[in-house]
Structure 1
Amino acid sequence: MILKFFDRLEEWLIVFLMGAATLLIFAAVAHRYASGVPVLQEYLLQLDMSWAQELCIYMFVWMAKFGAAYGVRTGIHVGVDVLINRFDDRLRGGFVVFGLLAGALFTGIVGTMGARFVWQIAHTDQVSPDLEAPMWLVYLAIPCGSYLMCFRFLQVAWNFMRTGKLPHHDIAHVEGVDEGAAHDLHPLSHEARQ
C-alpha cells in the first residue's frame, strides 16, 4: 500500500516537473519574442522573466534524479547485459544481484555525500543568482534522488532474489490501452499482414 503511494508520488512528481518546466520555457520564450512587438513592449518589459531559465534548470535536475529512480524501478534504466544473459541461470543471478547491490552501494554513497554537502551549505547564506533561493534547497535533489534510487536498487534486488525476475519495460505497451485492442489496431499485427 505505502509502496504504491510512493510509486504514484514519484510518477506525479516527474510529470509535474516536466510539464511545469515545459510551460515555463514556453512562457519565457514567448515573452522574449513578444517583447519585441512595439504594441506589447511597454507592458511586457515590466515583467521580469530572467529567473525562468534558472528555475527550469533546477526543475530538470530534480526530474532527472527522480527519473533515474523511476528507471531502476521499471526496468528502463540502461544496463549492459549481453554477456551476462549468456551465462547459466545461477551464475547470471549472482551477477545480477551483485550489479544491483553495487548500484545501491554507489547511490547510497552519493546520497550520503550529497546530504553532508547540503548540511554544510545550509549553514551558509548562499543563494541562487536569479531566484535568490537558498542553495541547500537546490542541492537537496542529490540526496533525495540518490537515496530513492538506492531504495529502488534494493527493492529490485529483493524482488529478483525472491522471484528471479527483473522489471522489464515493454516499449509496445501503453498504459490504459487494452492489449488485445492495441494488437488489433497495430498495422503490423498478424491479421493486418494477411
Structure 2
Amino acid sequence: MSGHSGYHPKTKLGHFVNELEETFIALLLGMMTLVTFINVVLRYVFDTALIWGLELTLVLFAWLVLFGISYGFKITAHLGVDAILNIVSSPAKRVLVLISAVVCVVYAGLLLKGAWDYWAPFAGLDATTGRWFPTGFANSRDQAWYETEQLPFPEWLRFIEPLMNEGEAYEKLPRFIPYAILPFGVALILFRIVQASLRIVKGDQDSLIVSHEAEDAVEEAAQKNREDI
C-alpha cells in the first residue's frame, strides 16, 4: 500500500488545502535550514551569531513535528508494526484495525486536553477540570506575561499588550504565541485520525499505518530488473 494511498483530494478546495499544508511544512523546514545556515556563517566568518537563532529553530522544529504528525495520518505515511495483522483473517484484521483507530482517537483526545491545559494559562485562559476528560473549566493562574528566553518581540504585535499583558510592554515574544501550536497541532492530529478512521469504516483505507512500503519497493525494483534482463 502506498504511503499516499489514504488520501486523494477530489475537490479544488481539497487540492488547495493539501498544497497549503505541504507548502507550510516545506516553509518551516526551509526556515529552520536558513536560520541555522546564517548562524553558522555568522559564527565562523564574522565571529558573531543570532542570539535567538537556536530558540527560533527549536520552535520551528516543534511546529514542524506536530504538523508532520497530522499530515502523516492524512496521507497514511506513518510506519507501524503489522506482524499480527498479517497472520489473522481479513475480518479479524478489520476488527483489529478499527480497535486501533478507536484507541488512537481516544489517545489524541487525551493529548488535546493536556495540550490545552498546558497552553491556556500562558494565554490568560482557563485550563479544564477532570483528570482524564474535561468536566469544566477552572480558574488558572494568568501566565500571559511569561516571555520566551531570547526571541525578539515584533513591533507590529504591540496591539496585544493591553489585551494580554495589562498594558505592560513585552521585551521578548510571549510564550503563548509559539506554544499555540500545542492545542492547534494536537486538534489537527485528532481531526486527521478521525478522518482516517472514517475512511477505514467506509472501506476506502486498510489501516492507519503504511504496510511493507520498503519491501514492495524492493520487489517492484527487482521485478523491473528481471523484465529488463
Which TM-score tier does this pair reach, normalised by the shorter chain?
A: 0.7 to 0.9
Alignment partners' CA distance in 1, 2:149 and 2:51 = 10
Residue deviations 1:75-100 (CA, integer Å, cap 9, x gap): 22121111122211111111111111
The one-letter code matched in structure 2 to 1:133 is L
Match of 2:16 in 1: 5
Alignment partners' CA distance in 2, 1:171 and 1:75 = 14
Any idea what SS the aligned residue of 1:133 has? strand
Any idea what SS the aligned residue of 1:94 has? helix
Residue deviations 1:69-126 (CA, integer Å, cap 9, x gap): 1111222212111112221111111111111121122112212221232221112200
Match of 1:68 in 2: 69
Residue 189 (structure 1) shift: 2.8
Structure with higher helix content: 1
Match of 2:35 in 1: 24
Any idea what SS the aligned residue of 2:120 has? helix
Counterpart among 138, 156, 181 of residue 178 in structure 2: 138
Structure 2 gaps of 5+ residues are 1-10, 125-142, 152-171
1:106 aligns with 2:107: yes
Matched positions, count: 173
Match of 2:97 in 1: 96
Name which structure has the greater RCO, CA cutoff 8 Å, separation 6+.
2
Q: CA RMSD in A?
A: 2.5
The one-letter code matched in structure 1 to 2:57 is C
Any idea what SS the aligned residue of 2:150 has? coil
Alignment partners' CA distance in 2, 1:101 and 1:9 = 28
Residue deviations 1:34-78 (CA, integer Å, cap 9, x gap): 124xxxxxxxx5xx5110110000000000001011111222212
Residue 146 (structure 1) shift: 1.0
Judging changes above 3 Å, is the alpha-carbon distance between structure 1 residues 70 and 109 closer, same or farther for their aligned structure 2 residues?
same
Judging changes above 3 Å, is the alpha-carbon distance between structure 1 residues 191 and 135 closer, same or farther for their aligned structure 2 residues?
same
Structure 1 gaps of 5+ residues are 37-44, 173-182
Alignment partners' CA distance in 1, 2:123 and 2:62 = 19
Any idea what SS the aligned residue of 1:130 has? strand
Structure with higher strand content: 2
Alignment partners' CA distance in 1, 2:116 and 2:57 = 23
* Cα contact 1:126–1:135 (8 A) shared by 2: yes
The one-letter code matched in structure 1 to 2:196 is V
Counterpart among 46, 55, 63 of residue 35 in structure 1: 46
Judging changes above 3 Å, is the alpha-carbon distance between structure 1 residues 5 and 115 closer, same or farther for their aligned structure 2 residues?
farther
State the percentage of identical aligned residues: 23
Residue 15 (structure 1) shift: 0.6
What TM-score do you get using the length of structure 2 for normalisation?
0.67
Alignment partners' CA distance in 1, 2:29 and 2:82 = 30
What TM-score do you get using the length of structure 1 for normalisation?
0.78
